[in-house]
Structure 1
Amino acid sequence: MRWRDTDKSSNIEDRRDQQMASAGVPSALLMRLLPFLLRTKIGRIVLLLGGAYLAFQYFTGGYSLEPSNTSGFSQSQSASNGQLQDENAQFVAAILGTTETVWNQLLKGRYVDPKLVLYRNMTSTGCGMGQAQSGPFYCPADSKVYIDLSFLEELKKLGAPGDFAFAYVIAHEVGHHVQNLLGTNAKVRQAQQATDKVGANQLSVGLELQADCYAGVWGHYVDKQLNLLEAGDVDEGIAAASAVGDDRLQKMAGRAVQPEAFTHGSSAQRIKWFKVGFASGDIASCNTFTAK
Structure 2
Amino acid sequence: MRLRGARGSRNIEDRRGRRGRSGGRAAPIGGVGLIVVLAIGYFAGIDVTPLLQQGNAPQQTSTRAISPEEERAGEFSSRVLATTEQVWGQIFPAQVGRDYRAPTLVLYSDVTQSPCGGASGATGPFYCPADNKAYLDTDFFATLSRQLGAKGDFAAAYVIAHEVAHHVQNELGILGKVHEARRRASIEEANALTVRLELQADCLSGVWARSVEGLLEPGDLEEALNAARMIGDDRLQKRAGKVPQPHTFTHGTSAQRAGWFAKGFKSGDMRDCDTFSANRL
Specify the TM-score bucket, using the shorter chain as the normaliser: 0.7 to 0.9
Q: Distance in 1 between matches of 2:219 and 2:23?
A: 50
Equivalent pair of 1:245/1:266 in contact (CA under 8 Å): yes
1:120–1:289 distance in 2 versus 1, CA, 3 Å: same
Partner of 1:274: 261
The match for 2:110 among 110, 121, 126 is 121
Are positions 1:222 and 2:212 aligned together?
A: yes
CA RMSD of aligned residues (A): 2.5
Give 2:257's aligned amino acid: R
Q: Distance in 2 between matches of 1:244 and 1:89?
A: 23
Are positions 1:178 and 2:168 aligned together?
A: yes
Q: Distance in 2 between matches of 1:161 and 1:111?
A: 31
Give 1:68's aligned amino acid: T
Partner of 1:68: 63
Q: Distance in 1 between matches of 2:139 and 2:103?
A: 21
Partner of 2:13: 13
Map 1:94-243 onto structure 2 (within 5 A): 94-108=79-93, 109-156=98-145, 157-223=147-213, 227-243=214-230
- How big is the shift at 1:146? 0.6
Q: Distance in 2 between matches of 1:123 and 1:195?
A: 30
Equivalent pair of 2:188/2:248 in contact (CA under 8 Å): yes
Equivalent pair of 2:70/2:138 in contact (CA under 8 Å): no
Give 1:159's aligned amino acid: G
Q: Which runs of 5+ in 1 are unaligned?
A: 25-46, 73-83
Give 2:15's aligned amino acid: R
Give % identity: 49
1:8–1:203 distance in 2 versus 1, CA, 3 Å: same
Equivalent pair of 1:4/1:91 in contact (CA under 8 Å): no
Per-residue Cα deviation, 1:39-92 (whole angstroms, up to 9, x for no partner): xxxxxxxx9xxx99x95xx6xxxx4575627x99xxxxxxxxxxx982111110
Per-residue Cα deviation, 1:157-200 (whole angstroms, up to 9, x for no partner): 21110000010111000000000111000001111112111110
Corresponding residue SS for 2:235: helix
Q: Which runs of 5+ in 2 are unaligned?
A: 25-49
Corresponding residue SS for 1:107: helix
Between 1 and 2, higher relative CO (CA 8 Å, sep ≥ 6) is seen in 2
Give 1:202's aligned amino acid: A
Corresponding residue SS for 2:215: coil
Per-residue Cα deviation, 1:210-245 (whole angstroms, up to 9, x for no partner): 00001000000000xxx1001000000000000000
Q: Distance in 1 between matches of 2:21 and 2:234?
A: 38
Q: Distance in 2 between matches of 1:289 and 1:11?
A: 30
Give 2:248's aligned amino acid: A
Equivalent pair of 2:112/2:119 in contact (CA under 8 Å): yes
Corresponding residue SS for 1:129: strand
Question: Which structure's residues are more often helix, by fraction?
Answer: 1
- How big is the shift at 1:256? 0.5
1:6–1:262 distance in 2 versus 1, CA, 3 Å: same
Q: Distance in 2 between matches of 1:287 and 1:85?
A: 36
Give 2:73's aligned amino acid: N
Partner of 2:71: 86
Structure 1-normalised TM-score? Answer: 0.79
Give 1:162's aligned amino acid: G
Are positions 1:248 and 2:243 aligned together?
A: no
Equivalent pair of 1:18/1:65 in contact (CA under 8 Å): no
Q: Distance in 2 between matches of 1:285 and 1:21?
A: 43
Structure 2-normalised TM-score? Answer: 0.82
Count of equivalent residues: 246
